[in-house]
Structure 1
C-alpha cells in the first residue's frame, strides 16, 4: 500500500498508509489529543476525522478548545439550520452564512412573509430531532454544473457557488443531511450529536453582501457550544447585554425617546436624560477652560462653498444632508463637522506666534445623513452634539500639545472610571488614496510626526491603514462597550491640509507669515454616544455625581412628617443636590422599592424619630439595610461622593 507524508505544525514529517483518517493520525500522536480532536485541515482544507485521506500535505489537528474548533462546530450547526429551513420552507433561498465572535448566522430569503421570530421554535425542534437521531453529515464535492443545478432558482446561492468554483478548480462542496443537500464552504463534524447545545436567538434584516443598495434578506442568529456550561454562560451574557442596552434602560429610567413619526434618528432628551447630559457638558467645559480652551458658539448652517473648499463636499457628501437654496441664491448646508467654523474664528483676526497654541472648543451640534437601517438609539443618530476642539499650533509645538491633549483625555477617563481602552494610529490606505486629499509628502510628514509623538511618549499602539480622516492621520482611543463592541471614544487628528486650503497664517518672531498646524480632537465623543456608552457601562446605576436624582426623600406620613421632608428637600436643593421629595399617597414599601427601581443613589426615609433628632434613615442603592445618621453626617458622605466622582478616594 502506498504511503502519504504529512507535515505537522512543529515541522516534523511522518508517513501513514493511504486511506488513513485524520482521527487515526490524531490518536497516533497522543490519546489525549485524539479525545479533543473534532476535525482537521490538510493544506488548509477542512477534512472530517473519519474521512479517508488520499493525499498528504501540511496537517493540523483541530481540537474542540481551539478557535478553529469552535468555527467548525458553528459551521456544522449552520448546515443543520439550513437543512431545517429547507425542510420547513421548501424553495427558501439562502444568502451568506458564517461565524461571528459570539455565534453564527444564516441569511434567508423566503417568498411572501420572511422568516420571523415565531419560526425559531419549530426550527429549533427540528434541529433537536437531528441531534436525537444522530443524523449524519456526508460531504460531497460537485462540479460547477451540478452545483448550479442543485441551487437552481436561488440567485444568491448561484452567485456564491460560481465565486467558490472559480477559486477551487470548478469544485463546490455540499453536505448531505437526510434528503437535503446543503452548500457549505468550510469543514463540518460528521454528525449532529455535537451540536446538542445550541440556541436560535433572533432574526434581523441584513443586506445581501452588506450593501444597502442590494435586497434585504432575513438573518437568523444563533449560538452553539460543545458543552452546556458554555451555552449557559453565553446566554447569561446575552441576558446581561439586553439589560444593559441603553435603549431599554433609557425607556425604564425615562432618559430619552425617538419617535419615527416626528423624525428617525432625532432623539428627544427627557428631564432625566437631559440632567445627565448637562452634568457631562458642564464637567467637560470646566475641564477644557482649565486647560486653556476658548469656548465658542457657531451656527449649524454654513455656506456650501466653505465645505467645497474644505474638501468635505468632495469626500463626505454622501453623509451630508442636501443643501438648501436661499432667496438670494446662496446655498446653505447643515454642518457635518465643526472644523470650518473654528477656522473662521481663527481667521477673524490677525494671529501672532504669541497667540499660539490657540485652543478653540465647542459643544457643537452637527447633522449627518445616516442610513435608516444604521440608526440605533443614541449611538447612531442624525443630529448630534460633539465635544469638539481645535488647536492651532506652530510646528514646533505639536508634540507638547499632543501630550497635553492626551493628559486631558486620561484625566477624564479616570473621573468616568474608563480603563478598558487601547490606542490606534489610523493612516490612509496607500492602495486606495482616492478618498483622501492628494499630497503624498504631507501624508508622509503628518503620519511620521504622529507616530514619532507616540514613540516619544512610550505609549503602546496598533497601526491601522484606511481609518484616517480624509485630511490627515489620527490617534483613535478605542474602547469596549459593556456589550463587547469596540468603538472610538476619543480622537486626536493632525491636519496640515486645512490650514493650507484656507490659507491660515500667523506672524512669527521674525515678522514673517508662517503656516500653523491644526489639531482636531474630541475627548468624550458626542453627547449622544457618550451617554449611551455610560448608560450601558453603569447598567443605569449612575454614580451619585451623574445620577439624574441623587436623593429621594420619603416621609413616613406626609401629614405628620411632610414639613420636615420639605425642609430637607429645600436645604439639599440650595446646596445644589438633585433632591426629590416623594409625597405620593402610597405604601412605604412601594415607595422605597420604586426608588430602588429608579436606581436613585440615596433614599432617605424620615418619620417622628428622624424629625426629633435632625436625622435621616439612609438606604444606599443596592443595599438592603438602612442606617440612621445625622443630616450633617449624611451631607458629608454625599458631598465626598460627588467630589471624588463616586470613586471612594
Structure 2
C-alpha cells in the first residue's frame, strides 16, 4: 500500500500501482468526470499514471491552468492526426505541437499551402476523432528504437528532436488510434474529453524559431471543455478585434506608426490630449502621495551603465552613440540618473523615505517581429519612481505604493492581481541579499491580504519585483504596475545616508511604475473603453450641432462659454443633415452631442444625446455645463 496526501491535507491509502484516475474514482465520481490531469508531487501527469510510492496528489480540472494545458495539448495531437488522415502519412511531416496560453498550435511541413477551406476540412476531421473517443495511451521506448520508428515514417523533425535527447534517455510516445506522436505529455485519457475545438488561423514559422531554417506552416487553434465556453471566448475575440487600439487609433486620429521609425509612435493632437490628461492626473496623485518630480538626461556615458550593471546584463536591448570619441548609451531605464541626483547632496535618516518620480523617455531595442502598435514599442515614457528608504521602512512604503496603485487603477475601472517575480539566472548580487529582498516583498503582500502567484526566475537582474496585472472590460489581463526592491544599486553606487547614530548607512531603493509606459497604457485604455473615453479623457468632450444656419450663432456662443471654462468643444455647422452629422459624431465616440434648434434657442436649452444612448434629454445650458464639470472633476 502507498499513502496519498490530498490537497486538503487528508491522507488515504491505496494499493501500489493503482492509477491516479482509479484512485480518484474510489472516493469521488463527480471529480473523476471533471478531472483532466493529476499533479503528482508537483508534476502535472496523466490520470493513467500508476501511484507507486507515497506522494502528494492534486487533481486538475479545466478551471486549473495545468488541466487546460493537458486538454489543449491533447487537442494539438488531434490536429496532427486529422492532418495525417486527410493529406496522407507520407505527405506531411510533423514538427512540434504545444499547448499555449488560450490554445495550441502545430507546426507542419508539407508542399500544399493550406487555406481557410483546408482548416474547415481539418476541423471536421478533428471533431470526428473526438467522437471516436480514442484512448490516449502513453508508452516508453529506447532512444534507438524511437529514432528508427520515426525515420521509417519520414518524420525528420521528430528524429532531430530525439537526437537532441541524452543517449540513455527513454523516449515517451503517445498513441491514439492509428496515430503515434513523440511527446512528454501529459495528455487526457481519451480524445472524447475535448468537447469544443476551433481552428483559428495559419501563419509561417521557422523551424526552431531560426530564420536560417525552413519555413513551416503553423496552424493555431483553441479548445474548451464546453461549447458555451468556446462560444464566449470567440465572442470575446470578435470584441477584441473591434477594440484593436491600432484600428481605433487611426479612426479616432490618436496616433500613427511609420516605416521611417518602426516602433517609434507619433502622437496626433487628439492623442496628445489623452496623454496630457493622464500626465496631469499622474502629477496630481503623486504630489498628494509625497513624490518630487525630477528629469534626467536621455544619453549618458558608458561608465555609468557599466557601474549600474546594464552594460553587462542589458546591453543587447540598448542603443549606443559616440560623443567626443567616448561611448555613450541612450537610456533604457531611468534609475541610474535618479541615483546621480540622490548623490548630489548628503541625506539624513530624517529625510527618508525620499520619493522621486520621473516621466522618463527610454529606448529599448525590440526585435521587429515583436513590435505591436503601442503595446510593444522601441521608445516609451516610463512613469518611473525611485524611493530611497531605511531598511525598517520597506513594508510600510510598499503598502503606501499599493495604496497609490489602488487609487489610480480604480479611477479607470481596472482591477488587478499581483504576481511575485523571483531571481533570474542573469542577475547580480548574493543569495543572501536576494532572499532578504524576496522575503520583504512576500511579507508586504501577505500582510496586505493580497493573493499572489509566484513567477520563478522572472525578476529584474538587480532585484525581485511585484507585477500588477490589470483586467480590462473584456477580462483580458495586461501587466502594468511594478514594484522592484533593490538592495544592489545602492551598493554599486555607494549611496549613503546619515543615521540616527551619526554614522553612514546604505539606503534601500525601490523602483516603481504605475502606468508602466504612457504609450502602452493609452493602448490598453483605448481597448478597455473601445475608444469611448470617459469625458475627462475624451479629446473632444462636446459636439454642438445647430439644426440650421439660423441656430449657428447660439451654437458658437455656447462653444465660447464652454471653451472659456476649459472644456473641449466643437461646433459642426456643415451643410449636412442633422442625422448624418450626429452619426458621424457617434462614430467618433464623442461623449456628448448637443442639438440646438428653435426651442433650444428660445429657452436657452440644449438637447443632450449621450454616447451609446438612443434618446435625447432637454436641459438648461448652464445645468449641462455644471453636470459636465462635475463629471470631469470626479473623473466619472
* TM-score over 0.5 for the pair: yes
- Aligned twin of 1:94: 94
Match of 1:298 in 2: 296
Deviations along 1:122-151, whole A, 9 cap, x unmatched?
A: 43355456678x596785956655543443
The alignment partner of 1:359 has SS state of strand
Do the aligned partners of 1:6 and 1:56 also contact (CA within 8 Å) in 2? no
Q: What is aligned with 1:203?
A: 202
Q: Distance in 2 between matches of 1:354 and 1:63?
A: 52
Residues 349 and 390 in structure 2, CA contact (< 8 A), matched pair in contact too: yes
After TM superposition, the structure 1 = structure 2 runs for residues 312-331 of structure 1, keeping only pairs within 5 Å, are 312-321=310-319, 323-326=320-323, 328-331=324-327
1:14–1:378: structure 2 CA closer, same or farther, 3 Å change rule? same
Residues of 2 paired with 1:42 and 1:643: CA distance? 52
- Name 2:521's counterpart in structure 1: 530
- Quick one: distance in 2 between partners of 1:580 and 1:280? 22
Deviations 1:581-623 (A, max 9, x none): 2223322222222222222111111111111111111011111
User: Aligned partners of 1:183 and 1:463: how far apart in 2?
Assistant: 31
Give the drift of 1:221: 1.5
Residue 349 of structure 1 corresponds to: 345
Q: 1:253 is matched with which residue?
A: 252
1:470 is matched with 461
User: Is the contact made by 2:75 and 2:194 (CA closer than 8 Å) also made in structure 1?
Assistant: yes
| TM-score of the superposed pair, with normalisation by structure 2 | 0.84
Render the CA deviation track for 1:331-385: whole Å, top value 9, x for unaligned. Answer: 1111001111112222333444554443322110000011222221111111010
Instruction: Label 1:427 to 1:72 Cα distance change in 2 as closer, same or farther (>3 A).
Output: closer
SS of the residue aligned with 2:96?
A: strand
- Alignment deviations for residues 570-589 of structure 1 (CA, whole Å, 9 cap, x no partner): 22111111112222332222
Give distance in 2, aligned partners of 1:489 and 1:598: 27
State the shift of 1:555 in Å.
Answer: 1.4
**Structure 1 residue 283 displacement after superposition:** 0.9
Counterpart in the other structure of 2:240: 241
Number of the residue aligned with 2:281? 283
SS at match of 1:524: coil
CA contact (8 A) 1:143 1:172 kept: no
**Counterpart mapping for 1:88-487 below 5 A:** 88=87, 91-110=91-110, 115=114, 119-127=118-126, 134=132, 144-145=143-144, 147-152=146-151, 153-161=154-162, 169-170=170-171, 172-177=173-178, 182-183=181-182, 185-187=185-187, 197-206=196-205, 208=207, 217-225=216-224, 227-259=226-258, 261-321=259-319, 323-326=320-323, 328-353=324-349, 355-418=351-414, 420-429=415-424, 432=425, 435-454=426-445, 457=448, 459-482=450-473, 484-487=475-478
* Corresponding residue to 1:502 among 477, 484, 493: 493
Over 3 Å counting, the alpha-carbon distance change for 1:102 and 1:470 in structure 2 is closer
The Cα offsets for residues 458-497 of structure 1, whole Å up to 9 and x where unpaired, read as 5554444423222223333233345655443212222232
Give RMSD over aligned pairs: 4.0
Deviations along 1:236-282, one digit per CA (max 9) or x if unpaired, are: 222223223322332332322222x2122111222222221111011
Q: 1:307 to 1:164 in 2, by over 3 A?
A: closer
Taking a change above 3 Å as real, the CA distance of residues 506 and 211 of structure 1, as seen in their structure-2 partners, is farther
Give the equivalent residue in structure 2 for 1:621: 611
Q: 1:341 to 1:394 in 2, by over 3 A?
A: same
CA distance, structure 1, for counterparts of residue 261 and residue 493 of structure 2: 35
Partners of 2:631 and 2:181 lie apart in 1 by: 60
> How many Å apart are 1:101 and its aligned residue?
4.5
TM-score, length of structure 1 as denominator length: 0.82
Asked if the contact 2:134/2:176 (under 8 Å) is kept, the reply is: no
Checking the alignment, whether the CA contact within 8 Å between 2:463 and 2:484 is kept in structure 1 is: yes
Does the 8 Å contact 1:42/1:57 carry over to 2? no
Q: Distance in 1 between matches of 2:463 and 2:370?
A: 26
C-alpha change, 1:287 and 1:212, in structure 2 (3 Å) is farther
- Name structure 2 gaps, 5 residues minimum: none
Tell me, in whole angstroms, the C-alpha distance in 1 between the residues paired with 2:630 and 2:83: 59
- Call closer, same or farther: CA 1:154–1:443 in 2, change over 3 Å: same
Structure 2: distance between partners of 1:123 and 1:236:
22
2:558: which partner in 1? 568
Structure 1 unmatched runs, 5+: none
Q: Which residue of 2 aligns with 1:602?
A: 592
Q: Residue 64 of structure 1 contacts residue 226 of structure 1 at CA under 8 Å; is this kept in 2? A: no
